Amino acid sequence: MKEMAKDVWRLDQRIAPLINVYLAGDVLIDAGRRQDRKRVFDQIGGRDLSLVALTHAHADHQGVAHELCEARQIPLACHAEDVGAMEGRRSMSSASAISRSIVRRWSGPPHKVDRVLRGDDEVGGFRVVHAPGHSPGEVIFFREDDGVAICGDVIRNLSYATMRARLLEPPDAFNVDSVQNRESIRKLAELEPRLILPGHGPAVRDMSAFKRFVARLA
């Protein structure tokens, strides 16, 4: 694992960093695809965990959540608007065919949400900021004292075409509301983060570049 900030680590992966899983203290934030089981279990090892918390209930973020919560006997947390998707009562895909295909290939089993998150809740020293658009229950985990923002898929720092770092919006095909997601990107900017840890791609450390990216949004 790579330490990204005080008490925050990003789990390693062979194609790094493509689908990110973070450990914040004793809270695992996101859980990859179901194919990431070995990667997650091997790297967590014997560490004590108190909670698995999702930035959102999409197949590449909740894949190992059920198995990990069952194995460790720990609760699962996600925002109220994504509880139905995590518990299997609502589809976690958007209307696009590619999104439905990804759910079939990558998603893990449904699991009961033990802790329902809402805006301004606290998780592992981070404040929960509701940031919908990519999914109804997308959240940012924001730590006030050092400006660390774990932002899920509000933005990505990765081109899926080249696999190189590039600040981009999530593809429309994966969003429930792309206009709303742009508002959530602006909400992220208003937090004035000093380090952004996205769900896909390397950390964003150049805040001037991030501000220019936000300013270019229509």
pLDDT digits (tens, 9 = 90+) for 55-98: 999 999 999 999 999 999 999 999 999 999 999 999 887 767 88
**pLDDT tops 90 at residue 103:** no
Place of tokens 């695809």: 33
- The more confidently predicted of residues 202 and 16 is 202
State how far the Cα of 110 lies from the Cα of 55, in Å rounded to an integer.
16
Q: Quick one: average pLDDT of 90-113?
A: 86
The predicted structure's pLDDT at residue 217: 94
- The more confidently predicted of residues 103 and 160 is 160
Per-residue pLDDT tens over the stretch 143-165: 999 999 999 999 999 999 999 99
The predicted structure's pLDDT at residue 106: 84
Q: What is the mean pLDDT of the chain?
A: 95
Enumerate residues 6+ apart whose C-beta is below 8 A from 115: 51, 53, 75, 76, 77
Q: Quick one: average pLDDT of 19-35?
A: 97
The predicted structure's pLDDT at residue 16: 77
The predicted structure's pLDDT at residue 95: 67
Is residue 197 within 8 Å of residue 210, measured between CB atoms? Answer: no
